[in-house]
Structure 1
Amino acid sequence: MTASLTLGPVLFNWPVDRWRDFYARIADEAPVDTVIVGEIVCFKRAPFFAQAMGEVVERLTAAGKTVWFASPILVGSERERVAMRDLVEADAGLVEANDMGALALLAGRPHAVGPMINVYNEATLAWLAGRGAVAVSLPAELPAAAVAALARAGRELGVAVEVQTWGRAPLAISARCYHARAHGLHKDGCQFVCGNDPDGLAVTTMDGQPFLTVNGTQTMSHGCLCLAEEMAELSAMGIARFRLSPQAMDMVRVAEAFRAVLDGRRGGAEVAAELGGLIGAPLVNGFFHDTAGARQVAAGA
């Protein structure tokens, strides 16, 4: 089973030129196998990226990357439902479903399942496989024992099971926009203030301690999930797909580092130390070690 790297969709509101240039560099330089594209957090952002989508997909495909298309996390209007239906019916490539509505539309045809859908046990995985899922990216909050059980079930079902190994962990989505509210604005008149925070807006507790990260309507971890040191354990479980979630940093360097770990050319601890100095946030891996997600558990502890 050959190990592969997946680059998840950009979750933040980057200017379209930056977004386009990001994918051009990924196409030309990043050792990733699958790239997932699409605006999944806020439907209001989608038109900005739609104008460049064809160019981005063409460049990624020409570079030998497999391109998948991600559905929105939360669909709340008729326009959004129509857009999601159009995405599914376009048949431009494999769709990664991020909500139950997309799963309903994709039933009976090959598709992927994103980490926004809660796949916590073997019965859920089997149900998804029976409806056409060929790949499932697990939620970031699962502990190692659950990942191992789902990896075994995935092998039996013929479903590729994927684990996120880099990037802020997605925790929740809301119909309300936290970013707008933080600036005294309503969602309908948000002025796209989320674009001021290309890596999300830090949330602190009342006593000033870093707590979470806000990305428009999405809540994410404050710390950056990093499972570089757990890659060998994940591989031994049978995990062969490893997901990197884009952050506002040199993601080519991140991809090269994780590829080096997969190839046995670098150690996970060395890579974690290097990347931890670049992200501007603490590294965390607590969920995997069955403790608070915001903790960083030392290897072998």
Structure 2
Amino acid sequence: MRLTLGPLQYFWPRERTLAFYREAAKWPLHTIHLGETVCSKRRELRTRDWIALAEELASNDRQVVLSSLALIEAESELGVLQRLVDHGGFWIEANDLSAVQLCRERGVPFIAGPSLSVYNHVALAMLMQDGLRRWVPGVEQGQTLVDELLRALDAQGSTRPEVEVIAWGRLPLSYSARCFTARALDVGKDQCGFRCIEHPDGLPLSTREGRPFLRINGIQVQGEELTDLSPELPALRAMGVDLLRLYPQAEGMQAVVEHFVGALATRDAVAPLGHRNGYWHGEPGMSGMAADA
């Protein structure tokens, strides 16, 4: 199995973002995802900047993927997607079916991102005919559902795509046309002032009883817990998972990568670094020790 650095879900200042990827270039990663997947108003780096960074980071032993928005609502956002696809030098992470259509029309290989909602082997086989090379299951698809889908592909004689599982980070649960960060700060979406840049790991949301519950990230809602599937590596290997996605976080990301490098170097289960969310086992995501049940 190989390690993938997923797209940056948060809004960071330009220099912080560039510094992060300069460091990431030194890590033993197979794939680095670049681009904005959450909110088109986040423009510390524009499309040309992401493409220039992709060209800088690409090498013979590292793949760079350009990730697209999960929720495309405007013609301008479609135009950004077209520029990513038309570049032609990188695979595209398609998080919306419009990205699939453009990639198919232009013959560009693509990855089905977790927001594309692929729930059965027939849909997956059809997408492979359109140019799908890799599939990232959604967070609602745990071990049992993913295994069943892959077995169904095998049973009908279809070639499997590469499978990339979210193995670290806060899970992207939902997207909305409404900006939750703006609402939490009692400002309109069009007058948000880009306030999500003040929350480099999302804005914590607690229950009325004060229990940590979710993270608000602009139009995206995330789980509070840090998923860590490193203890599941033996089972992931047995399923035939090819890549492990690590979502960037503001601090300590190098230590996360080193943790997974060490975990991959052993055939035994390792102690978790994060919370081991239950989503992978069909349990509530906040069930931190579901794997031990």
Same fold (TM > 0.5): yes
Q: 1:69 to 1:54 in 2, by over 3 A?
A: closer
Residue equivalent to 2:128: 129
Work out the CA distance in 2 between the residues paired with 1:55 and 1:87. Answer: 11
Residues 1:90 and 2:92 are matched in the alignment: no
Work out the CA distance in 1 between the residues paired with 2:103 and 2:191. Answer: 33
Work out the CA distance in 2 between the residues paired with 1:237 and 1:143. Answer: 12
Q: Which amino acid aligns with 2:279?
A: F
CA shift, 1:150, in A, is 3.0
Work out the CA distance in 2 between the residues paired with 1:153 and 1:24. Answer: 41
Preserved CA contact (<8 Å) 1:201 1:215:
yes
Q: 1:247-293 deviations in whole A, cap 9, x for unaligned?
A: 11221221121122112177421xx1xx33xxxxxx14211111111
Equivalent in 178, 183, 190 of residue 181 of structure 1: 183
Q: Which amino acid aligns with 1:238?
A: G
Q: 1:24 to 1:122 in 2, by over 3 A?
A: same
Q: Which amino acid aligns with 2:22?
A: A
Q: 1:128-165 deviations in whole A, cap 9, x for unaligned?
A: 11221010111122121112123335664231111110
Q: Which amino acid aligns with 1:92?
A: G
* Range with bigger deviation, 54-63 or 241-250: 54-63
Residue equivalent to 1:150: 149
Residues 1:293 and 2:282 are matched in the alignment: no
Q: 1:125 to 1:177 in 2, by over 3 A?
A: same
Runs of at least 4 residues off by over 6 Å: none
Matched position secondary structure for 1:165: strand
Equivalent in 89, 101, 104 of residue 101 of structure 2: 104
Q: 1:112-135 deviations in whole A, cap 9, x for unaligned?
A: 111111122212211211221010
Residue equivalent to 2:20: 22
> % of aligned pairs identical?
38
Residue equivalent to 2:32: 35
Q: Which amino acid aligns with 1:133?
A: L
Preserved CA contact (<8 Å) 2:5 2:32:
yes
Matched position secondary structure for 2:15: helix
RMSD of aligned Cα (Å): 1.9
Preserved CA contact (<8 Å) 2:31 2:63:
yes
Residues 1:117 and 2:131 are matched in the alignment: no
Q: Structure 1 unaligned segments of length 5 or more: list them.
A: 277-282
Q: 1:172-193 deviations in whole A, cap 9, x for unaligned?
A: 0011100011111111111010
Residue equivalent to 1:241: 243
Preserved CA contact (<8 Å) 2:10 2:202:
yes
Q: Which amino acid aligns with 1:245?
A: Y
CA shift, 1:32, in A, is 0.9
Preserved CA contact (<8 Å) 2:281 2:290:
no
Preserved CA contact (<8 Å) 2:202 2:215:
yes
Work out the CA distance in 2 between the residues paired with 1:32 and 1:44. Answer: 29
Matched position secondary structure for 2:170: strand
CA shift, 1:4, in A, is 1.0
Q: 1:188-235 deviations in whole A, cap 9, x for unaligned?
A: 111010011000011112222211111011011011111111111011
Residues matched between the structures, number: 288
Work out the CA distance in 2 between the residues paired with 1:154 and 1:170. Answer: 26
Matched position secondary structure for 1:43: coil
Matched position secondary structure for 1:105: helix
Equivalent in 250, 253, 257 of residue 252 of structure 2: 250
Q: Which amino acid aligns with 2:131?
A: G
Preserved CA contact (<8 Å) 2:11 2:196:
yes
Work out the CA distance in 2 between the residues paired with 1:88 and 1:201. Answer: 32
Preserved CA contact (<8 Å) 2:214 2:223:
yes
Residue equivalent to 2:208: 206
TM-score of the pair, normalised by structure 1: 0.90
Residue equivalent to 1:280: none
Work out the CA distance in 1 between the residues paired with 2:22 and 2:35. Answer: 15
Q: Structure 2 unaligned segments of length 5 or more: list them.
A: none
Q: 1:61 to 1:70 in 2, by over 3 A?
A: same
* Range with bigger deviation, 74-83 or 258-267: 258-267
Q: 1:87-112 deviations in whole A, cap 9, x for unaligned?
A: 11121311110011111212253211
Residue equivalent to 1:268: 270
